[in-house]
Structure 1
Amino acid sequence: MSTVNKHLDMFSESFNLEDKVAIITGSSKGIGKAMAKGLAEKGAQVVISSRNQEACDEVAKEFTSEGLKAVGIACHIGKEEQRKSLIDKTIEMFGRIDVLVNNAAINPVFGPIEEVDPAIFDKIMDVNVKAPWALSNLVLPHMQENKKGSIINIASVEALTPGFGLGLYSTSKAALLMLTKNQAKEWGQHGIRANAVCPGLIQTKFSSALWQNEKLLNKIEKTIPSGRMGQPEEMVGLACLLASDAGSYMTGGVYTADGGYMIAG
C-alpha cells in the first residue's frame, strides 16, 4: 500500500462510528433527520427521537431499509420523565451512549420581545436550554464510564447576532452556546467533548415562515455570500466530524454553517 493510500485509509477510519450509539433529538425531520442519517451512514447505531413515536418509527424503518442501524424512541424533551426514559431505554437496548445531539427546539412566537407572554418565555427556555442541559446531565455518567463522549448542541446564527422578531429564540440559543462551553470546560477531564453548531437559514419546516415568503427569502439571500439558503444535508459534515475521532481535539467550539451569513455585515 502506498503512503498516500495509507494516510487516506487512516483519515477515513477517523470518521468511522461503528459500535457507537448516538441519540439525536428532534430527528424525525429536518436537520435532525439529516444528521441522524449521516451518523448512521458512518456506522453508528442511531436513536431517532421526537415527540411522536409513529414518526420516529417511520424514520427508523426508512433507515433500516437502507441497511442502516436505527431505532425510534419517542421523547418530549420538555418533560423530565420522558427525558429519563429516553436515556434509560437507550442504555437498556445498547448498553452505552457515545454521542448526544441536542437538536430539538421550538420557536412558537415571531414578534417584539416585549409582547411575549411569560408562559411562552418559560416554554422556550425549558425546551431550548433546560432540556439540553438535563439530557446532557443524564448521559454524563455513561460517557464518564466510557471515558469518552461527544455532545453536539445545535444552536443558530441567531445566537450570534440579533435578528428581528426572534428575540427570545436568539436568547435561548445564546444561552445554549455558553452551556456548551461550560460542558466542555468541566467535562473535558472525563474525555467528553462538547461543541455547538450554528446553522444559518436552512430549508426545513421549522424555518418555513421565512423561506415560504418569496419576497423575504429574496431579500435574505441577497445578503448571504453563497446567495442561497442551505439544505439539511449540508449540516451533516459538521455533525460527523464532531461525533467522530476526526474531531478528537475539538471541544468548546462554536461552528457556523450559514453560507457566509455571519460575514455578510
Structure 2
Amino acid sequence: MDKFGKRFQGKVAIVTASTQGIGFGIAERLGLEGASVVISSRKQKNVDEAVESLRSKGIEALGLVCHVSNALHRKNLIEKTIQRYGRIDVIVSNAAANPSVEPILNTKESVLDKLWEINVKASILLLQDAAPHLQKGSSVIFISSIAGFNPPPAMSMYGVTKTALFGLTKAIAAELAPNTRVNCISPGFVPTNFASFITSNNEMRKALEEKTLLNRLGEVGDMAAAAAFLASDEASYITGENLVVAGGQPSRL
C-alpha cells in the first residue's frame, strides 16, 4: 500500500459526501498518504461501511453523518474533528445534488433552492465554521464539474451551480490568503453512482468517451490524484485556480 508518498503525515483532512465515488476516493488517497481523514454522508450505514473500509487499509478515520444543508450537522462535523484531532489542514467540499433534468425555465423554485443550497451555499457555510481552525499552509478544494463550462441540457442548472464554484474559488482564495490556499477541480465524466444515469447507458457512454481526447471516461483515482496534488505542499504556489481533469474535453467558458 506504500505506492504513494506520505505528503500528509500529521495532517487532518475533511472530505464531504465521502462514503462512495469521488469523495471516498479522495479521502482514501489522502489517508494512504498519511492524513487522518474525516468522512461524512447522509446515512449512518454508509458512513460505518466507509470508515471500516478505510481502517482496513491502515487509515486513521472518523466518520460522521452530515447532511451539508443542515447547520447543526455542519457545526458537529467541525467540532468533532477539532475534539478528536485538534486541527484542520485540508477541506474537500464534494457534496452535490442534481435533482432535476428539466430546462432551467421549467425548474420549480424549490428545486432551484435545493441545487443552490447544496452545491454552493453549503460550501460557504461549512467554511465559515471551519475557517478559524484552518492551519497555516492549509488547503481548501471545491469539486466543480466540466459541466460548469458549458452546462448540458439535462444538467443545466446543476452546471450553473458548478460555474458559481469557479467564482467562489477566486473569491475565497482572496479572503483566506496567505495562510490557506483555495482551488477547484473540474472532473469530466466519471462512472460513479452519481453519474450512473449517463454512464450505464452504453451508447451514451461511448459518445462521451469519443468526446475526450484520451478516449476514456475518468476514474475516481484520477480525481483523487489531482486533489492530493492540490492539497499538498507541492502545490504551495497555486491558489485561486481550477484544475480540469476531463481527458481533454473542451473547458473554456
TM-score for the superposition, normalised by structure 1 = 0.91
Which residue of the partner structure matches residue 232 of structure 2?
244
Is contact 1:15-1:240 (8 Å) kept?
Answer: no
The CA RMSD over aligned residues, in Å, is 1.7
Which residue of the partner structure matches residue 110 of structure 2?
119
Equivalent position amino acid for 1:234 in 2 = D
Is contact 2:146-2:251 (8 Å) kept?
Answer: no
Distance 1:217 1:183 in 2: 35
1:70-115 deviation line (CA, Å, top 9, x unaligned)? 1111100011111111101111111111100000100011131111
Distance 1:164 1:34 in 2: 28
1:148, CA displacement in angstroms?
Answer: 2.8
**Identity fraction in percent:** 38
Which residue of the partner structure matches residue 147 of structure 1?
136
Which of 176, 187, 195 aligns to 1:207? It is: 195
Equivalent runs, 1:69-148 vs 2, <5 Å:
69-143=60-134, 146-148=135-137
Equivalent position amino acid for 2:59 in 1 = L
Distance 2:143 2:251 in 1: 20
Is the alpha carbon distance of 1:13 and 1:209 closer, same or farther for their aligned partners in structure 2, counting shifts above 3 Å? closer
Distance 2:109 2:243 in 1: 31
Is contact 1:15-1:246 (8 Å) kept?
Answer: no
Distance 1:212 1:65 in 2: 30
Is the alpha carbon distance of 1:263 and 1:225 closer, same or farther for their aligned partners in structure 2, counting shifts above 3 Å? farther
- Confirm whether residue 26 of structure 1 aligns to residue 14 of structure 2: no
Larger radius of gyration: 1
Higher helix share: 1
Secondary structure class of the residue paired with 2:47: helix
TM-score for the superposition, normalised by structure 2 = 0.95
Equivalent runs, 1:26-45 vs 2, <5 Å:
26-45=17-36
Q: Which runs of 4+ in 1 moved over 2 A?
A: 12-15
1:130, CA displacement in angstroms?
Answer: 0.4
Is the alpha carbon distance of 1:244 and 1:199 closer, same or farther for their aligned partners in structure 2, counting shifts above 3 Å? same
1:15, CA displacement in angstroms?
Answer: 5.9
Which of 137, 152, 174 aligns to 1:185? It is: 174
Question: How many residues of Structure 1 are paired with residues of Structure 2 in the alignment?
Answer: 250
